[in-house]
Structures are given as C-alpha cells and as structure tokens.
C-alpha cells in the first residue's frame, strides 16, 4: 500500500520561528511536491523536486525553502514564520517520466497556525 506521511497533523508556531515540515514517501518516487491549500484558492505549488538535491520553484516560493537529501524525504522550511503562512500544507509524490501518467499521491496534510 502506497504511503506518504507528514511529520505532524497540527502545528502551532510563533511569528519569526523557523519551521520544518517533513514528508516521507515509501514508493521510490522521483518527484516530490509541497503545496499549500487555502479556502477558495485550491492547492498552490510551493516547491517541487524531481531528484535528490534538485529543487524547482513553484508558483508561490517566497518565504519558503526546501531540502531533499534523500530520495524518500522532502522537507519544507519556513525560515521565519509569518501569520500569512497559516495554512494547510500538503506533500505529494509521483513517478517521473511520461510513461506513467504521473498520478500524485498525497500525504494527510499539516495544518500550521502561526500566531
């Protein structure tokens, strides 16, 4: 059974804190993604990675960074959390290549509140 896990379901942080969100997948997927989900805006891509140590900016990378040191793990970092980063964060993974359609498998999400 495929699985994407995220380190926390709920997280409360203070403004200015450094925040780490961890994502692990066990499907040997090359691609990993970080989205934020906000009401009325759907899912917006923050960063993605198609290989170890590789990263690409998504649509809203400002205020975030990522790290992918191992194939199965993709971390999202908020260097200095701000209240406008209060959101649901979703991690996803998929196979690379056009042969596979590239269905993305999602983690359960981390609801982050920044006070």
Q: CA 113, 54, 80: angle at the middle one, nearest 5? A: 25
The correct pick among 13, 50, 52, 60 for binding other proteins (CB under 8 A) is: 50
Residue 102 binds other proteins (CB under 8 A): yes
Nearest distance in Å: CB 45, other proteins: 6
Contact 111, 19 (CB under 8 A): no
Strands 10-13 and 110-114: parallel
Query: Contacts with other proteins in 80-99 (CB under 8 A)?
Result: 90, 92, 94, 96, 98
Contact with other proteins (CB under 8 A): which of 32, 64, 68, 109?
109
14 binding other proteins? (CB under 8 A): no
Residue that the structure tokens 């780490």 belong to: 20
Q: Residue 75 is encoded by which pair of tokens?
A: 């971390």
């Amino acid at each position: 059974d495929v699985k994407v896990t995220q380190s926390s379901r709920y997280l409360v942080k203070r403004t200015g804190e450094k925040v780490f969100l961890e994502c692990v997948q066990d499907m040997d997927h090359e691609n990993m993604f970080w989205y934020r989900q906000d009401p009325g805006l759907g899912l917006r891509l923050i960063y993605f990675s198609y290989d170890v140590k590789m990263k690409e900016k998504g649509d809203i990378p400002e205020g975030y960074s990522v790290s992918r040191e191992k194939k199965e793990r993709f971390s999202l970092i908020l260097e200095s959390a701000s209240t406008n980063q209060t959101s649901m964060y979703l991690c996803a993974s998929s196979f690379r290549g056009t042969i596979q359609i590239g269905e993305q498998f999602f983690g359960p999400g981390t609801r982050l509140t920044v006070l």
